[in-house]
Structure 1
Amino acid sequence: MCGICCILVLAPQEGVSTHDIVGKDMFESLQRRGPNCSQQLSKEVPELGYNIFLSGHVLHMRGCLNPQPLQDTQGNLLLWNGEIFGGIEIGPEANDTLIILQHLSSCKNEESILSVFSTIQGPWTFIYYQAFSHCLWFGRDFFGRRSLLWQFKNAENLCLTLTSVSQSVSKCGNFPWQEVPACGLYKIDLQKNTSGNALAISWYPWKYRPIEYEFKTFHLGEEVQFIEEVPSFVSVFLNGSKLFPIVPITPMNYSVCETHTSSCEASSVNVESFLSDEKKILVHKFINVLSESVRRRVLFLPRCQIPTSSQFTISTKAKVAILFSGGVDSMVLAALADHHIPQDEPIDLLNVAFKQQKTSTKQKKKSNASRAPEEETVQDDNSSLNETTSFNVPDRITGLSGLKELQIINPARKWNFIEINITLEELKEMRQQRIRNLVQPLDTVLDDSIGCAVWFAARGIGTRTSNGEIQPYTSSAKVVLTGIGADEQLAGYSRHRVCYQTSGFEGLVKELGMELGRISSRNLGRDDRVIGDHGKEARFPFLDEAVVSFLNALPVWEKADLTLPRGIGEKLLLRMAAKELGLTASAVLPKRAMQFGSRIAKMENHKEKASDKCNRLLQSSID
């Protein structure tokens, strides 16, 4: 994973430096994402009236360490923030940045460049300068699993900045930062953009392989228009060649069956009752494809092992961590990671809790009356909190329970359960110093809650209990697995149940299609920025192309049965997989959103709605 930045200046004035355009705080944020190597490169082309400044900061994960931007013999330049997990052949010791540049160096036209990015399986963002054509290409993968922001300025010079992370909130200016929409690739022809007064960007929207399938608003005709707001001096238009990169997944199965009914009575149903021989075949197919996704994400990491006197080696530090609540998503990921990570290597389970504040009986009754299903807790009595129990939030309780299940499945594995305890004072301090700049351009109460919770969890600073003794512990794992994508594909949210009750399978499957289509703008860019701030890489096994294609091909009733109670009907396919993997209580835990399970939603303003704009993300000083 890397922090990448590109600044394009059209009609540059003499004496204007690209170093002056980007502030010190942005470069520090980029360096935190890529702590192993940093390099800058400038390219000036006065005859065409443009300057390009490129900055690359590398988190070394596999193969030889190659500084970025990477340059070939033809003068082409690549900034790459991604991982190849399939589609293009790459050995376990190879460097994917070098391989991508080799493929791009052989491309002589638009179609061949689009073919490269249509082939890659895995998360990526890229910025590529093709020297002979004077074209600047950039974009994000179909799901938007890696962050890329843009900002346009038109003061002394027309300037476009592309970056993994932005400047501070207070330095946004008249044209705020936006996430580059993950709806295709983009190209700027610098031989045609010579006026310095306007910027034209060609857009290459994603298209599914079947010609008859049209996704969202991306059609094949002249009527295709870019759907995001950009400044008046910028135009984003459908490329003149009418070329499209190919979506790397199978389209959603929109078939409906309104006559489908559950085979069990809701009053006596359990997950095992669905595991018929026929159903087991499907469940094991799902386990296999998800297991392969996890395998790709936990192997081929630098594993510096310590020689011993015997034939074995001992690895003392975890290379992989999991955002861990003890819920079915994180439990399944932990169980599958256990299948592939070397047996002598620990796995870090990152469990975050925010200190509970005492509430009066009246406040608690009012809160319980308005609580959504996702807020339900295992234990919610904080009337007599002390320092020991004030971090016993729901996710801590289910996390400890989940730890016991994992220890039963594999008692030989060293499971590092990391208790990450955050006070209100530390929350305010780190939000002000770091987190609010990473969450932007998202700005809701929900973005604040999840962004802060994920940032503290991924930092991995807490305590663990070893041999009955509580010890300080900091996770050194560079890879952080997260379960995002499970709820969006398997109807895990309470809104999916409401949608099914009002619109049946037809409404539900449309909602799931929309969930997957907007996951880049609602979740993934933000999560990549906050996790990457610690020099760690977020990996999303549920969003592997093969996993999504497998689930997309299934009719919706094979994935969830929302006629069944909470804790069973939503994500039913995943719950059956959990049972087959040997998990017990965690397989039937109802969905609990992270902001409620960690109790961050209870820390400050209880009257806020998740969709409200969050003033705390905009404050210039700590209250």
Structure 2
Amino acid sequence: MCGIFCQLSLSPTTFEWDKTIYEHLKRRGPDSNQDLTVKDKYGTYQCVFSAHVLHMRGLLTPQPVEDDNGNVLVWNGEIFGGLPVMPKENDTAVVSQCLSSCSSPSQILSILSTVRGPWGFVYYQKAGDYLWFGRDFFGRRSLLWMFDAEVLTLTSVAAHEPDQSVWQEVPAVGVYRIDLKAAKESSTVTFEVYPWAHAGNDVMSTCIETISASLPSGCTAVINQSGLVLTSPVCPLNMSIPESLSGTEIHPHMYQSVKDLEQLLASKENNDELNRVIPVLSEAVRRRVQSLPFENPDNSPPKNDRASVAILFSGGIDSMILAALADQHIPAHQPIDLLNVAFKLKEPKKQKESAKKHKKQKNESSNSKTDGAACRTSSPFDAPDRITGKAGLKELQNLNPERRWNFIEINVTQEELQKMRQERICHLVHPLDTVLDDSIGCAVWFAARGAGLISEDSDQRLFTSSAKVILTGIGADEQLAGYSRHRVRYKTSGHEGLIHELAMELGRISSRNLGRDDRVIGDHGKEARFPYLDEDVVSYFNSLPVWEKADLSLPRGVGEKLLLRLTARQLGLGQSAVLPKRAMQFGSRIAKMEDNQEKASDKCTRLFASCK
């Protein structure tokens, strides 16, 4: 992974770095920093490339990469399939070599359609004077754009500056090509769009409409005249509707416990869908926990017994399955970091007075160890996700007691939240700006930093995760009906309405979640990896009828993401298999630190006011 940057100037100009943007890019890629300027021989245009590399696999390859023909690539991605990458090879070098052999747009599209894994890129094709750029099908890597005074800037991360030109996320609807000579002649930039499309599906009309919503001022976008498209890496969503409900009437309170879930599992033990889900998910996790820097070819223990892989961990079904599968593919002597974030809630005055009174009574009446244990007060950071996280830790320890599970308690006070939001997080969340973006962005930033406490022999000590790879469970709820709004849609519109809701969820995940999360996690020089958005996983889930993935006639904690819950039981997990969905902003308790009257979709005034 890396921070990539390209500035295209259509008029003579002196390039100067925005210090905030440069620092953000540098934090994303601490292992190599390099710039390269390209000018055509007539002085028609100038492209300044910059890349800041986080070394993740193969041999360290500084970027920008310039080939023998003068083509330049900055690549922020990982190849988990599609193109062959040998153990000592770097995927940036592989992509550069493949693109350098392309002489037509169709060949470039063929290469990009083949890649399996997250990516964002900018590519200067010297022959023809073209600039290509774009994001993968799901938009798992951030790329922003802005056009101002005949200067187009593309960057992984930007900076929020009040009263200045607004950055926008590059829509993940396809890849874009700029004819640089034509842009110079007209003093405007036209993006020629090559959209993602399922074979046989017409997406041309909706593609431009989507792009127009975030098109930089002064730029235009047109579908390429040849009608070329990128082939979708996933199969179409199964839109089938059940002809009738199950022959047996379903009672809402029939399945509410682990034991009940086991009975349901027994009834489905010969179900092909259930038997196939573990191999598909397991392979997705394997690709992401074993694609690491070529540093320990003999699988020797990491220095200081530190983990290479961490998981955003709440103890809920999504993160528990990722942990259980990672355990199968990471050598037993290597620890796994479980990142659990909680925000401290201010105590009301009455509660403080009650606590003081209770403490006084405890000191007067409790002399024995037993009494002391009974009267011990809970931690101010015992947020819901902290409680379920500790319960999940015990399940994982029972699953593999030989593994060292570093459960990192990441405790955040309101003072630290306000400080880091002002200094860093507001810039990373930008250009998103809602209350929800603030809550999730802040929670994920602190979690990914990995600085907290771990418990050892009843004592706690300071600990900071060294893992460069962070697994996150995003994508499970969007595909398997995990949100409360899915139940609402199911109740009002049945299976047909639910299917359309799920199709919309996956279609907008790039603009709602993934760019933001990539910017926030990458700020720590770490890489977010999304096993539930692996192309094979999504294709598998898309192939199933909706009633095989979720049964919203069953109660919360069972019906939503039913397929995953049954999978959890097959993996040997316990109570976590029936935990209801809890949004991160509530589970970590960050939502209660701010204005309780806010709505998630409201513009967040804290983000606007805090940036400096």
TM normalised by structure 1 equals 0.90
2:358 maps to: none
Question: Pick from 262, 276, 287: which aligns with 2:278?
Answer: 287
Superposed displacement of residue 111, structure 1: 0.4
1:201 maps to: 191
2:145 maps to: 150
Is the 8 Å Cα contact of residues 337 and 405 (structure 2) preserved in structure 1? yes
1:49 maps to: 44
Is the 8 Å Cα contact of residues 205 and 218 (structure 1) preserved in structure 2? no
Structure 1 position 418 matched with structure 2 position 415: no
- Distance in structure 2 (CA, Å) of the matches to 1:584 and 1:296: 26
- Distance in structure 1 (CA, Å) of the matches to 2:25 and 2:293: 22
Instruction: In structure 2, give the amino acid aligned to 1:162.
Output: L
Instruction: In structure 2, give the amino acid aligned to 1:17.
Output: T
Superposed displacement of residue 620, structure 1: 4.2
1:369 maps to: none
Superposed displacement of residue 479, structure 1: 0.1
- Distance in structure 2 (CA, Å) of the matches to 1:31 and 1:265: 56
SS at match of 1:195: helix
SS at match of 1:427: helix
Is the 8 Å Cα contact of residues 168 and 214 (structure 2) preserved in structure 1? no
Cα displacement string for residues 19-56 of structure 1 (whole angstroms, at most 9, x for unaligned residues): x2x41111110000000000001112251510000000
- Distance in structure 2 (CA, Å) of the matches to 1:249 and 1:526: 23
Instruction: In structure 2, give the amino acid aligned to 1:139.
Output: G
User: Residues 360 and 237 (structure 1 numbering): CA distance in 2 closer, same or farther, change over 3 Å?
Assistant: farther
1:118 maps to: 113
Identity of aligned residues (%): 57
User: Residues 49 and 576 (structure 1 numbering): CA distance in 2 closer, same or farther, change over 3 Å?
Assistant: same
- Distance in structure 2 (CA, Å) of the matches to 1:98 and 1:456: 33
User: Residues 588 and 572 (structure 1 numbering): CA distance in 2 closer, same or farther, change over 3 Å?
Assistant: same
Structure 1 position 535 matched with structure 2 position 525: yes
- Distance in structure 2 (CA, Å) of the matches to 1:245 and 1:178: 23
Is the 8 Å Cα contact of residues 59 and 293 (structure 2) preserved in structure 1? no
Structure 1 position 619 matched with structure 2 position 609: yes
Structure 1 position 433 matched with structure 2 position 423: yes
Superposed displacement of residue 192, structure 1: 1.4
Cα displacement string for residues 457-498 of structure 1 (whole angstroms, at most 9, x for unaligned residues): 000000001122201000000000000000000000000000
- Distance in structure 2 (CA, Å) of the matches to 1:85 and 1:189: 31
Structure 1 position 256 matched with structure 2 position 247: no
Is the 8 Å Cα contact of residues 258 and 504 (structure 1) preserved in structure 2? no
1:378 maps to: none
User: Residues 518 and 587 (structure 1 numbering): CA distance in 2 closer, same or farther, change over 3 Å?
Assistant: same
Instruction: In structure 2, give the amino acid aligned to 1:426.
Output: E
1:301 maps to: 292
Superposed displacement of residue 241, structure 1: 1.4
Cα displacement string for residues 138-178 of structure 1 (whole angstroms, at most 9, x for unaligned residues): 00001000000001102xxx0000000002x12661x3000
Superposed displacement of residue 214, structure 1: 4.0
Is the 8 Å Cα contact of residues 127 and 136 (structure 1) preserved in structure 2? yes
User: Residues 48 and 303 (structure 1 numbering): CA distance in 2 closer, same or farther, change over 3 Å?
Assistant: closer
Instruction: In structure 2, give the amino acid aligned to 1:464.
Output: I
Question: Pick from 329, 341, 346: which aligns with 1:352?
Answer: 341
1:137 maps to: 132
SS at match of 2:231: coil
1:379 maps to: none
Structure 1 position 98 matched with structure 2 position 89: no
Instruction: In structure 2, give the amino acid aligned to 1:467.
Output: D
Instruction: In structure 1, give the amino acid aligned to 2:14.
Output: S
- Distance in structure 2 (CA, Å) of the matches to 1:424 and 1:104: 48
2:221 maps to: 236
- Distance in structure 2 (CA, Å) of the matches to 1:515 and 1:200: 29
- Distance in structure 2 (CA, Å) of the matches to 1:216 and 1:583: 45
- Distance in structure 1 (CA, Å) of the matches to 2:204 and 2:601: 23
Is the 8 Å Cα contact of residues 21 and 157 (structure 2) preserved in structure 1? yes
SS at match of 1:463: strand
Is the 8 Å Cα contact of residues 139 and 510 (structure 2) preserved in structure 1? yes
- Distance in structure 1 (CA, Å) of the matches to 2:583 and 2:448: 17
User: Residues 535 and 229 (structure 1 numbering): CA distance in 2 closer, same or farther, change over 3 Å?
Assistant: closer
1:163 maps to: 155
Structure 1 position 466 matched with structure 2 position 461: no
User: Residues 392 and 570 (structure 1 numbering): CA distance in 2 closer, same or farther, change over 3 Å?
Assistant: same
Is the 8 Å Cα contact of residues 56 and 79 (structure 1) preserved in structure 2? yes
User: Residues 133 and 26 (structure 1 numbering): CA distance in 2 closer, same or farther, change over 3 Å?
Assistant: same
1:381 maps to: none
Question: Pick from 32, 39, 45: which aligns with 2:34?
Answer: 39
2:251 maps to: 265
TM normalised by structure 2 equals 0.92
Instruction: In structure 2, give the amino acid aligned to 1:170.
Output: E
Is the 8 Å Cα contact of residues 224 and 238 (structure 1) preserved in structure 2? no
Question: Which one has the bigger helix percentage?
Answer: 2
Instruction: In structure 2, give the amino acid aligned to 1:160.
Output: L
Instruction: In structure 2, give the amino acid aligned to 1:566.
Output: R
2:320 maps to: 331
Cα displacement string for residues 289-333 of structure 1 (whole angstroms, at most 9, x for unaligned residues): 0000000000031375699xxx97576110000000000000000
Cα displacement string for residues 87-116 of structure 1 (whole angstroms, at most 9, x for unaligned residues): 111122210000000100000000000111
Is the 8 Å Cα contact of residues 234 and 539 (structure 2) preserved in structure 1? yes
2:370 maps to: none
Is the 8 Å Cα contact of residues 206 and 245 (structure 1) preserved in structure 2? yes
User: Residues 236 and 482 (structure 1 numbering): CA distance in 2 closer, same or farther, change over 3 Å?
Assistant: same
- Distance in structure 2 (CA, Å) of the matches to 1:262 and 1:328: 29
Superposed displacement of residue 335, structure 1: 0.1
- Distance in structure 1 (CA, Å) of the matches to 2:376 and 2:157: 39
Superposed displacement of residue 431, structure 1: 0.1
User: Residues 560 and 299 (structure 1 numbering): CA distance in 2 closer, same or farther, change over 3 Å?
Assistant: same
Is the 8 Å Cα contact of residues 298 and 320 (structure 1) preserved in structure 2? yes
Map 1:14-29 onto structure 2 (within 5 A).
Answer: 16-18=13-15, 20=16, 22-29=17-24
User: Residues 251 and 312 (structure 1 numbering): CA distance in 2 closer, same or farther, change over 3 Å?
Assistant: closer
Question: Pick from 562, 587, 592: which aligns with 2:552?
Answer: 562
SS at match of 1:288: helix
Cα displacement string for residues 538-595 of structure 1 (whole angstroms, at most 9, x for unaligned residues): 0000000000000000000000000000000000000000000000100000000000
Structure 2 unaligned segments of length 5 or more: list them: 352-374
Is the 8 Å Cα contact of residues 226 and 237 (structure 1) preserved in structure 2? no
Structure 1 position 512 matched with structure 2 position 502: yes
Instruction: In structure 2, give the amino acid aligned to 1:99.
Output: V
Is the 8 Å Cα contact of residues 258 and 505 (structure 1) preserved in structure 2? no
Question: Pick from 537, 543, 547: which aligns with 2:537?
Answer: 547
Structure 1 position 9 matched with structure 2 position 41: no
- Distance in structure 2 (CA, Å) of the matches to 1:188 and 1:440: 25
Cα displacement string for residues 484-525 of structure 1 (whole angstroms, at most 9, x for unaligned residues): 000000000000000000000000000000000000000000
Superposed displacement of residue 195, structure 1: 2.9
SS at match of 2:454: strand
1:373 maps to: none
Question: Pick from 473, 483, 499: which aligns with 2:489?
Answer: 499
Structure 1 position 107 matched with structure 2 position 102: yes
Is the 8 Å Cα contact of residues 268 and 274 (structure 2) preserved in structure 1? no
Superposed displacement of residue 599, structure 1: 0.1
* Greater CA drift, 437-446 or 200-209: 200-209
Instruction: In structure 2, give the amino acid aligned to 1:489.
Output: Q
User: Residues 429 and 214 (structure 1 numbering): CA distance in 2 closer, same or farther, change over 3 Å?
Assistant: same
Map 1:581-596 onto structure 2 (within 5 A).
Answer: 581-596=571-586
* Greater CA drift, 230-239 or 288-297: 230-239
* Greater CA drift, 229-238 or 518-527: 229-238
Instruction: In structure 1, give the amino acid aligned to 2:333.
Output: D
User: Residues 599 and 347 (structure 1 numbering): CA distance in 2 closer, same or farther, change over 3 Å?
Assistant: same
